[in-house]
Amino acid sequence: MKHFVLITGASEGLGKSFAIESAKRGMDLFLVSLPETGLPELCGLIKSNFEVFVDFLELDLTDVQNCIHLIDYVKAKNYPISFLINNAGVGGNYRFANESFIVFNRMIQLNITALTLITHKLMDTLQDQESAFILNVSSMAAHFEGPYKQVYGATKSYIYYFSKSLGQELENTNVHVSVMSPGGISSNISHIRKSQLLNIFSKSTFLDPEFVAEYGIQKCLEKRVEIIPGRLTKGYFMFSKLLPKFIKKKLIQNTTTEIFNAQTILHNKGKNGEAIRERLKERIVKNAF
């Protein structure tokens, strides 16, 4: 069956890899991402390399109006979406008291509201297809509660619960729901540099977005409900279930604090005007790649 896939956050990192992987599998694509993140160029690349249909919209999905516009557009065009990959998300590690609510609100708007709204509005289209798949991208953070990830982790927990619950509701229908919980992904230069500052165990769980995307799509189409990419990550995950609570808590705290510190180091070095690190700041990298 030829799928028509809708991917949010498709212009970089994991989303870009989802797009390439879908095109390799001969799926038609509808891609969504923020303006000026190179989406038209990516669509051009896919169109010239693969014989698939590609359309796109550049929108900021933290705005509910834009989500509605997206759905209206897809419906007006009658795109037979049979595969929905809810990939767009924002994260980061922050001290709750120090950070502006705008940051947290964006996480809630994108990771929760947009994902729920788009899935809800697309349900009829998905149900109209012979068989359809939803792949929601949660995170390992949803399974390991640690400091500095309060809001991000909570939004990913939402995605996890939402997916599992919806999946049960749609059991024995033509729509399958998968939820993927990846650990670290070296999706852009700043993530790679951050991972380099971590200890060997945290570092070894970092995966290429290409691998995560291929694995995620493959397992979703095989109707796996819960997807954890990476043998090591899966191993740690299983192992952590056996640990006593206080040890688990300690371990998570150490890792999360380490990641937080790594982020702070990179951020501060950038601030001090060191040419290299400055370039590593997420936003610049986002625009560049």
- Decide if residue 268 touches other proteins (CB under 8 A): no
Residue number, 170 or 284, with CB nearest to other proteins = 284
Residue with tokens 């150490």: 254
Confirm or reject binding of residue 9 to other proteins (CB under 8 A).
no
Closest-CA residue to 225 (of 274, 165, 143): 165
Count residues contacting other proteins (CB under 8 A)? 29
Contacting residue, 62, 139, 187, 233, with other proteins by CB under 8 A: 187
- 118, 67 in Cβ contact below 8 A? yes
Dist. CA 3–CA 132, nearest whole Å: 8
Q: Which of 25, 45, 90, 145 binds other proteins (CB under 8 A)?
A: 45
Find the DSSP H helices in the chain.
13-24, 39-49, 64-76, 101-107, 115-128, 150-169, 189-196, 200-204, 209-221, 231-242, 245-271, 275-280, 282-288
Rounded CA separation 105/114 (Å): 12
Closest CA to 252 of 236, 228, 266, 263: 236
54 binds other proteins per the rule CB under 8 A? no
Asked if 192 is part of the footprint of other proteins (rule: CB under 8 A), the reply reads: yes
**Binding positions for other proteins, 201-240, rule CB under 8 A:** 203, 208-210
Which residue, chain included where needed, has tokens 């990959």?
A: 85
Choosing from 106, 164, 234, 279, the residue that interacts with other proteins (CB under 8 A) is: 279
Q: Counting contacts by CB under 8 A, is residue 49 touching other proteins?
A: yes
264 near other proteins, judged by CB under 8 A:
no
Is residue 289 near other proteins by the rule CB under 8 A? yes
The residue within the footprint of other proteins, chosen from 8, 17, 181, 255 (CB under 8 A), is 17
Spatial distance between the Cα atoms of 253 and 22, rounded to a whole number of angstroms: 37
Does residue number 281 form part of the binding site for other proteins (CB under 8 A)? no
The residue range among 27-35, 98-106, 152-160, 196-204 that interacts with other proteins, by the rule CB under 8 A, is 196-204
Residue 61 or 207 with smaller CB distance to other proteins? 207
**Residues 268, 215: Cα–Cα separation, whole Å:** 35
* Cα 254–chain centre separation: 24
Minimum separation from the CB atom of position 54 to other proteins (A): 13
Q: What angle do CA 143, 238, 216 make, to 5 degrees?
A: 70
Q: Please say whether the dihedral angle defined by the alpha carbons of residues 36, 183, 135 and 109, taken in this order, is positive or negative.
A: negative
- Cα 140 to its chain centre, rounded Å, is 11
Stretch in the footprint of other proteins (CB under 8 A) among 106-114, 149-157, 192-200, 217-225: 192-200
By CB under 8 A, residue 13 contacts other proteins: yes
- Interaction of residue 50 with other proteins, rule CB under 8 A: yes
Chain contacts with other proteins (rule: CB under 8 A)? 13, 16-17, 20, 24, 38, 41-42, 44-45, 48-50, 186-189, 192, 196, 200, 203, 208-210, 275-276, 279, 288-289
